[in-house]
Amino acid sequence: MELLLISLAGCTAYDVASILERMREDLRELEIKVEGYRRKDPLKIYTEIKLTYIVHGNVSENNVKKAIKLSKEKYCSISTMLINDEMHLETSYEISS
């Protein structure tokens, strides 16, 4: 199950970095912290996943928000597949110049 979280982080990292690059932002490094919370019953599916993007560089906060949103809702097929009535995907970010 942890590989699913790693796949999600990799998918969205690629999207966000690509989108910021196309926006001509000065992205120097991107880290993603991921936390997953699962049900306790035998099925043990994820009910909540939290992604924290740590963006290093001289980047616009609005463009970071937009890139994360586009990845979550449009480009990252893993997040699109995971989000449903039983699973919540929460995102946050930090910008470090």
CATH of the domain at 49: 3.30.300.20
State the pLDDT at residue 83: 86
Distance between CA atoms of 21 and 43, rounded to whole angstroms?
Answer: 40
Query: What one-letter code names the amino acid at 11?
Result: C
pLDDT of residue 14: 97
User: How do strand 26-38 and strand 46-58 relate by DSSP bridges?
Assistant: antiparallel
pLDDT of residue 60: 97
| 60 phi/psi in degrees, rounded to 5 | -75, 130
Structural domains of the chain, count? 1
Q: In what order do the strands lie in the sheet with 88-96?
A: 26-38, 46-58, 88-96
Ordered per-residue pLDDT tens for the chain, 97 residues: 899 999 999 999 999 999 999 999 999 999 999 999 999 988 899 999 999 999 999 999 999 999 999 999 999 999 989 888 889 999 999 999 8
d(CA 27, CA 29): 6
- Domain of residue 90 covers 2-96
